[in-house]
């Protein structure tokens, strides 16, 4: 078995993914079948956000990946220019 921080990080990721999955499943799949007067609807945002938040997060992720690639490419070009 892995040790120390590896285990903590690994199981932490598992826990995070399970939490996100159960919350999102309840939001998208279960809530439409629950009576709109039930108290559970208080814990969930309006339904449109169920698509907007993942979309915005995905675009942000793409932005960070693009910025990282640009940064690495610029750095490598500067290193080759200095070596010439």
Partner 1 sequence: MTKLTQWLWGLALLGSAWAALTMGALGLELPFPCREVLWPLPAYLLVSAGCYALGTVGYRVATFHDCEDAARELQSQILEARADLARRGLHF
Q: Which of 43, 45, 54, 76 binds partner 1 (CB under 8 A)?
A: 54
Q: Which of 40, 45, 51, 65 binds partner 1 (CB under 8 A)?
A: 51
Radius of gyration of the chain (CA): 21
27 Cβ contact partners less than 8 Å away, ≥ 6 residues apart: 44, 47, 50
Q: Is 50 in the site for partner 1 (CB under 8 A)?
A: yes
Closest CA to 46 of 31, 30, 25, 33: 31
Q: Which residues bind partner 1 (CB under 8 A)?
A: 1-3, 6-7, 9-14, 16-18, 20-21, 24-25, 28-29, 32-33, 47, 50-51, 54-55, 58
């Amino acid at each position: 078995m892995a040790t120390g921080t590896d285990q903590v990080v690994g199981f932490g990721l598992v826990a995070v993914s399970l939490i996100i999955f159960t919350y999102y499943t309840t939001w998208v799949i279960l809530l439409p079948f629950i009576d709109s007067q039930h108290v559970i609807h208080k814990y969930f945002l309006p339904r449109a956000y169920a698509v907007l938040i993942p979309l915005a997060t995905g675009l942000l992720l793409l932005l960070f990946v693009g910025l990282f690639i640009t940064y690495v490419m610029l750095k490598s070009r500067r290193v080759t220019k200095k070596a010439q």
